[in-house]
Structure 1
Amino acid sequence: MKNLLRNFEQIFVTKHLLFWTLIAVPVALTAGSAVALFLWLLDVVTRFRWQHEWLLYFLPLAGVGIYFLYRSAGKNAEAGNNLIMDEIHQPGGGVPVRMAPLVLVTTLITHLFGGSAGREGTAVQMGGSIAQLLGRWFRLKPEDIRIILMMGIAAGFGAVFGTPLTGAVFALEVLAIGRIKYNALLPCLMASLFADIVCSAWGIHHTQYVISLTAALDYWLLLKVILAGVAFGLAGNLFAAATHQVKKLGNGVFKTHKWLIPVAGGLAVILLTFAAGTGDYLGLGVTSKDPGGISIVNAFHAQGVDDWSWLWKLVFTAVTLGMGFKGGEVTPLFFIGAALGHTIAVYTGAPIDLFAGLGFIAVFAGATNTPIACTLMGVELFGPDHVLYFAVACFTAYYFSGHSGIYAAQRTAVSKLGKES
């Protein structure tokens, strides 16, 4: 009888996997293609802005355009990633189809005119919006809608960074601090992997990073990694707090004329650019117009960034996103972390490329409370040789970043003190 039950269980598992594989294919095809289009357009508008730096002066006007686009057509889509996460926690009105084109267009506008923002939020929102639409077409049950929304997050994240394993785990880990539910693990992995393949098939290439350190485990270096992890966690917490406070300040000052919020934000970014003396903190920040400028790529080299580059980028991005412009937080977090890691390495005598890589993933881990996904990202981006350092930096940053993060809809299932909610 037990053997018979086991056979039935295997049949059920096979049927379950076949069902979600069939669902994962259209999710990946559409989300992967949408992300490919977005990344191509993002590269086009970034290079265009580099050639026409005067576009920055129209950033306040662009912000007004974004405001009225969402006011006239956005409705609940303005909640962005938080709306998708809320729908996974407690299905309600659903994720609207209009979210995908709106966030695509408004993110491109933000980058075209010099706002400091990322790309993950756009990719995740497009993935979630597409997944919700497909869920309706397939007439999925409410519990299956939750899974397909997680697949949309995984597909968008995995495709936009070229990290399919990270995308799958991030979609599960980001929902609640301290707890991961594995019921959507394989569907998310399939969606993320297929979406990355689709995105690459369109000719999209992701930035390659190299950590040259080949030495065996060094306990003195490990101690430096732990201390750096504390700094990375505090930086992640500072970014999340700054972004929330800027948003709160803008809403408080311009209670009756909300359209003035992005105007003030755009003017602040212009003034910050003059104060910093460079335009390298505008836009994505992966590379810069000047090959020797301040960027994520150059943070991995000895002369790549200044001591306070990480704080400049933090302020630029908190103002941009807190004042209503669109995009993601993750790539700016990569910039902040890589620049901070570079600075720490210079003053502690640690390997610059290793600490830039550690900061890259660990500040992100602290700001999003996703240490496992970020450790895996380190392996996917930099190789497995330093996985212990990756884990130590990410886990330490996670504990020192507090319980708040960049996603307001993220819940606390188990506190970092070990108490269940």
Structure 2
Amino acid sequence: MERIKNKFWGPTVRDRHLTFITTLGKWVLWGSIIGILVGTTSALLINLNDFLTDVREANHFSLFFLPLGGIVIGYIYMYYGKGSRKGNDLIIEHVHHGQGKIPLRMGPIVFVCTFITHLLGGSTGREGAAIQMGASISEGVNRFFNVAEIDRRILIISGISGGFGSAFGAPLAGTIFGMEAIVIGKTKYEAFIPCFVASFIGHFVATAWGIHHDEFIIQNIPDINTVNLMKVIILSIIFGFTSVLYSQLRHEIKRLSDKYLKNLMLRAFVGGIIIITLTYLIGSRDYLGRGLPMVERAFTGDVPPFAFLAKIIFTAITMGTGFRGGEVIPLFFIGSTLGNTLSPIMALPASFLAALGMIAILSGAANTPISAFIFSVEMFKGEGITFFFMACLISFIFSGHHGIYGAQKIYDPKSRMLNLVPGETINAIEDNKKVQP
């Protein structure tokens, strides 16, 4: 009789309960392992990154070795990368198609190349390295436990969450970021449990290793009224367009590098020369490395009016010519300094607009409005949530089909106003624009 029920009516209640318990148990176990390993590597990444930044700032001559460092990075990826040169886009493509395997060497390679970049003055952050290390660790868990195909992509997504949550001390945002950054218009909620576990455990493990994340304080929150709401709408549109400017410049530099500088060593060497030249033309080293001191200044005082534009150029060249790191902290720099610049024009507090710019540009550039909003809640203790919610959504809409992750697939266009075909990636849409008359 039991067999007849199974055949005609599907799994029994007992079978469903057993499947639920075993699947939940596996996800919690795998997410915990990923979180512990990712949190540890993120702690090492952050500590060494801070140390190397101090070394660079104490030894200004190190900048002159940036082109040589670029040669080393290019050599590593040319002869040992095995496809990992695509970085975050490789991870996103793997989640989309599930073909092949993520190279386990991706994590160690990006780890080393990020340190070279930061030590010698490249304008990058760290989340790219943390995400790639998380995906590499997840791939290792997949192989060790011989995880079934149905769960392999879920664990890769949880590695992304663990990397983001542990790198920024934002476990809630990290949980959603892994699920949201893969596809525009669709969030893979099936991955929620392992993403949640990996992000939170990764964060707690990094904290246990003594990591203290940067904190920025909003000194004044404006009142919610019609005038201020209209100002925030206008500002959010500006931040959205600024995220497009950075994304497009970064991708265009990479496209030109792919076309004219096919040798990765030569490409990064040229990029290093350009960064050195720009540094001495501007007469400031504020745009090298992560630039966190400038972000702090944006919250407490005045910054150069075009600091955001300089950081856009420095970071786009650094990333577009093959150096390694991340783009979230540079986006924070761009957003906070632009907000500070617009503060007297819009008659709103500088620290508030610095915070709003950080979050809005992250939302537009990464196409992750929910994660960005939750990040604002975690970073700024829930202050000004109405403004941040508006800014995230508006910047996301006005950034269109652009973004820093070219392999992001558009499951559903953000709006029918954009007149886009579902199912295409950002890269594919850009390529189609270039060939159309």
The reply on whether 1:254 has 2:261 as its aligned counterpart is yes
The reply on whether 1:88 has 2:88 as its aligned counterpart is no
The reply on whether 1:274 has 2:272 as its aligned counterpart is no
Counterpart residue number, 1:166: 173
Counterpart residue number, 1:292: none
For 1:199, which of 206, 229, 241 is the aligned residue?
A: 206
Counterparts in 2 of 1:74 and 1:258: CA distance versus 1, 3 Å: closer
Q: For residues 277-319 of structure 1, what are the alpha-carbon distances to aligned partners after superposition, in whole Å with 9 as ceiling and x for unaligned? A: 11010001112xxxxxxx111111232x111000000000000
Kindly, what percent of the aligned residue pairs are identical?
Answer: 39
Partners in 2 of 1:330 and 1:385 — Cα distance?
Answer: 21
Counterpart residue number, 2:321: 323
The reply on whether 1:223 has 2:222 as its aligned counterpart is no
Q: For residues 349-400 of structure 1, what are the alpha-carbon distances to aligned partners after superposition, in whole Å with 9 as ceiling and x for unaligned? A: 1111111001111111111111110000000101112111111111111111
2:171/2:199 contact within 8 Å kept: yes
Deviation at 1:214, TM superposition (A): 4.7
One-letter identity of the residue aligned with 1:300: F
Partners in 2 of 1:177 and 1:376 — Cα distance?
Answer: 17
For 1:392, which of 390, 398, 410 is the aligned residue?
A: 390
Which residues in structure 2 correspond to 1:373-388 (within 5 Å)? 373-388=371-386
Partners in 1 of 2:228 and 2:222 — Cα distance?
Answer: 11
Partners in 2 of 1:98 and 1:7 — Cα distance?
Answer: 42
Partners in 2 of 1:107 and 1:241 — Cα distance?
Answer: 23
Which residues in structure 2 correspond to 1:60-71 (within 5 Å)? 60-71=67-78
Partners in 2 of 1:14 and 1:341 — Cα distance?
Answer: 48
The reply on whether 1:111 has 2:111 as its aligned counterpart is no
Partners in 2 of 1:302 and 1:347 — Cα distance?
Answer: 15
Q: For residues 52-86 of structure 1, what are the alpha-carbon distances to aligned partners after superposition, in whole Å with 9 as ceiling and x for unaligned? A: 01110111111011000111111211111111111
One-letter identity of the residue aligned with 1:275: L
CA-atom RMSD in angstroms: 1.7
Counterpart residue number, 2:161: 154
Which residues in structure 2 correspond to 1:326-405 (within 5 Å)? 326-405=324-403
Counterpart residue number, 2:271: 265
2:291/2:333 contact within 8 Å kept: yes
2:221/2:352 contact within 8 Å kept: no
SS at match of 1:223: helix
Partners in 2 of 1:220 and 1:185 — Cα distance?
Answer: 39
The aligned length equals: 411
For 1:185, which of 179, 189, 192 is the aligned residue?
A: 192
Deviation at 1:11, TM superposition (A): 5.2
Most deviating of 7-16 and 395-404: 7-16
SS at match of 1:296: helix
Counterpart residue number, 1:290: none
The reply on whether 1:245 has 2:252 as its aligned counterpart is yes
One-letter identity of the residue aligned with 1:302: G
Counterparts in 2 of 1:401 and 1:22: CA distance versus 1, 3 Å: same
The reply on whether 1:34 has 2:33 as its aligned counterpart is no
Partners in 2 of 1:58 and 1:252 — Cα distance?
Answer: 25
Partners in 2 of 1:207 and 1:367 — Cα distance?
Answer: 21
Counterpart residue number, 2:301: 302
Most deviating of 339-348 and 29-38: 339-348
SS at match of 1:320: helix
Deviation at 1:17, TM superposition (A): 2.0
Q: For residues 243-285 of structure 1, what are the alpha-carbon distances to aligned partners after superposition, in whole Å with 9 as ceiling and x for unaligned? A: 0111112222224x44221111111101111122110100011
One-letter identity of the residue aligned with 2:298: A
Counterparts in 2 of 1:8 and 1:214: CA distance versus 1, 3 Å: farther
Deviation at 1:37, TM superposition (A): 0.5
SS at match of 1:415: coil
Most deviating of 206-215 and 349-358: 206-215
Partners in 1 of 2:108 and 2:178 — Cα distance?
Answer: 22
Deviation at 1:195, TM superposition (A): 0.4
Counterparts in 2 of 1:6 and 1:165: CA distance versus 1, 3 Å: farther
Deviation at 1:347, TM superposition (A): 1.3
For 1:57, which of 54, 64, 74 is the aligned residue?
A: 64
2:339/2:355 contact within 8 Å kept: yes
Deviation at 1:5, TM superposition (A): 6.7
Counterparts in 2 of 1:274 and 1:43: CA distance versus 1, 3 Å: same
Counterparts in 2 of 1:199 and 1:212: CA distance versus 1, 3 Å: same
One-letter identity of the residue aligned with 2:185: G
One-letter identity of the residue aligned with 1:267: I
Counterpart residue number, 1:408: 406
Deviation at 1:337, TM superposition (A): 0.6
Most deviating of 332-341 and 18-27: 18-27
Counterpart residue number, 2:291: 285
2:91/2:102 contact within 8 Å kept: yes
One-letter identity of the residue aligned with 2:289: G
Runs of 5+ consecutive residues of structure 2 not aligned to the other structure? 423-437
Partners in 2 of 1:254 and 1:17 — Cα distance?
Answer: 49
Counterpart residue number, 2:138: 131
TM-score by length of structure 2 reads 0.91
Partners in 2 of 1:10 and 1:297 — Cα distance?
Answer: 51
Runs of 5+ consecutive residues of structure 1 not aligned to the other structure? 288-294
Deviation at 1:120, TM superposition (A): 0.5
One-letter identity of the residue aligned with 1:272: L
Deviation at 1:420, TM superposition (A): 6.7
One-letter identity of the residue aligned with 1:297: E
Counterparts in 2 of 1:98 and 1:5: CA distance versus 1, 3 Å: same
2:38/2:162 contact within 8 Å kept: yes
